[in-house]
Structure 1
Amino acid sequence: MASSFNVESADGYERLMGRWSKRLAPGFIDFAGLADGESVLDVGCGTGSLTFALAGRPGLKSITAIDFSPVFVEAVTQRNTDPRITIQQADACALPFEDDSFDRALSLLVLHFVPEAGKAVAEMRRVVRPGGVVAAAVWDHYGGMSGMRMVWDTVAMIDASARAMRHRYSFQPMMRPGEMKASFVENGLADIEETSLTIRMDYSSFDDFWAPIAAGEGPLGKYVAGLDAYTRTRVDTAVREAYEAGEPDGPRSFASVAWACRGKVVA
């Protein structure tokens, strides 16, 4: 399974998205549900936002975290101090676990970066016991990520090549309303519920907002890193103007919405 997410460093990802994943994780856990004594699989753990939020629930029996990126696996391994947590590199579309191995399989902000996302849903269902739960959440890039859409819409007015990239960003797998639910149905899950979860992404300044992108993190960062010097200057200036919106540089807050879906595994 290739991932369409560009990772330069764990610290850079943490500044770009990990800090917001942490903010989203508690609401996602509440939606997905947990029970004491359960074994939970975190599919696509990144820098551990969901993994360590789960570790805050003392009643869980075990937490298994996997990620395709060795950068993330190393980062989570170095941070971990909880003996209930195990971490390994693995493919979400070919999970290295036996059938019925877990009570729940959760995936936070991952499936939209998996080109064959339906296979990942099928694998999550396979490794969860009958009566267990599969749940996932993805950003709504088209209608729910106001800060990032601000950037993509700005650069698309400057650079024609950014328009196709904006389209790919806005319509990645599982992002359209009902798309994740349809995949859960197709893969045999029952009692399916889809909802949206909202957080605020709060930045102290333009540099706080732009620095990880300017350093090449994520899909937008990969695009920015590939620009020639002239276009890069134009983009940096235009995005700063969009961020500031006629006011002095300083704190800004952007609403960010994720689609979330859960379903029950039936025998």
Structure 2
Amino acid sequence: MTSSFTVHDASGYEQLMGRWSRKLAPKFIDFAGLGTGEKILDVGCGTGSLTFELAKSADLSAIAAIDFSPVFVEAAKARNSDPRIEIQQGDATALPFADNAFDRALALLVLHFVPEAGKAVAEMRRVVRPDGVVAAVVWDHLGGMPGMRMMIDTAAALSEGGRQMRSRYCFQPMMQPGEMKRTFIEQDLAEVTETELMIRMDYRDFDDYWAPIGAGEGPLGKYMMTLDPAERTRIEGAVRDAYEAGRPDGARSFASVAWACRGVVR
């Protein structure tokens, strides 16, 4: 499996998205449900936003966490002090676990970066016991991320390369209304439900917003690294202007919506 997510440094990811993943994780857990003594799989754990929230949300017996990126695995392991948690590198489309090994398999902000997302859902279903739960959540890049779209749309207005990057960003797998629900049903999950979850992304100032992008993290950061210095400066200036919106630099807050889906193994 490959991943379409670009990560250079775990701390850069934390500033770009990890801090917001941690805000989304409790809402996702409430939607997915948990039971005392359960064994949970976190697919695509990143730096551990969902993993460590699971550990404090219920009296679970075990939490297995995998991620495709060795950078994330190393960072999550460094944070871990809970003996119930086991973190390893793994492929969402070929999970290194036996059939029926878990009570629930959860994926927080992962499936839209998996080219074979349907195969990942099938693998999550395989490793969950009958009557167990498979659940996932992804950002709505097209219609629910105004703070991110501000950057993406600004870059798209300035060049053809930016427009191509926007098309990739807005139409990743599992992001369209009903798309994840259809995939869950196609993979023979029952009682499939889909909903929206919302958080707010709060920034201290433009530098807080832009720093991980300027360092090459995420889709726009990856695009920025392909440009010459003059073009990077031009885009950064234009995005700063959009962020400030004619007012002095400072704190800004953006609503961010994600699609969440859950199904039961039969």
TM-score (norm 2): 0.99
Shift of 1:57: 2.7
Counterpart residue type for residue 200 of structure 1: R
Deviation (angstroms), 1:24? 0.2
Q: Which residue of the partner structure matches residue 167 of structure 2?
A: 167
Return the offset for 1:58: 4.3
Structure 1 residue 219, shift from structure 2 partner: 1.0
Q: Which residue pairs with 1:109 in the alignment?
A: 109
Partner of 2:84: 84
Q: Give secondary structure in 2 for the equivalent of 1:29.
A: helix
User: What is the match of residue 123 of structure 2?
Assistant: 123
Structure 1: runs of 5 or more not aligned = none
Q: Displacement of 1:85 after TM fit?
A: 0.2
Question: Which residue in the other structure is 1:42 paired with?
Answer: 42
Deviation at 1:229?
A: 1.8
Question: Residue 21 in 1 paired to residue 21 in 2?
Answer: yes
Which AA in structure 1 matches 2:115?
P
Alignment match, 1:252 = 252
Correspondence for 1:64: 64
Q: Extract unaligned runs of 5+ from structure 2.
A: none
Aligned mates of 1:106, 1:80 — CA distance in 2: 19
Q: Which residue of structure 2 lines up, in the alignment, with residue 216 of structure 1?
A: 216
- Describe the superposition over 1:113-142 as per-residue Cα deviations: whole angstroms up to 9, x where unpaired: 000000000000000000000000000000
AA aligned opposite 1:111: L
Partner residue of 2:96? Answer: 96
- Matched residue of 2:104: which SS? strand
Instruction: For 1:88, give the aligned amino acid.
Output: Q
Equivalent position of 1:230 in the other structure: 230
Cα RMSD between the aligned structures? 0.6
Give the TM-score taking structure 1 as reference length. Answer: 0.99
Count matched residues.
266
SS of corresponding position for 1:45: coil
In the alignment, is the contact (CA less than 8 A) between 2:35 and 2:58 conserved in 1?
no
Shift of 1:228: 1.0
Give the distance between the partners of 2:210 and 2:120, measured in 1 at CA.
32
Give the Å deviation of 1:256.
0.4
| Residue aligning to 1:11 | 11
Aligned match of 1:195: 195
Shift in Å at residue 162 of structure 1?
1.0
Structure 1: 4+ residue segments shifted above 4 A: none
Give, as a single letter, the amino acid of the residue that structure 2 aligns with 1:169.
Y
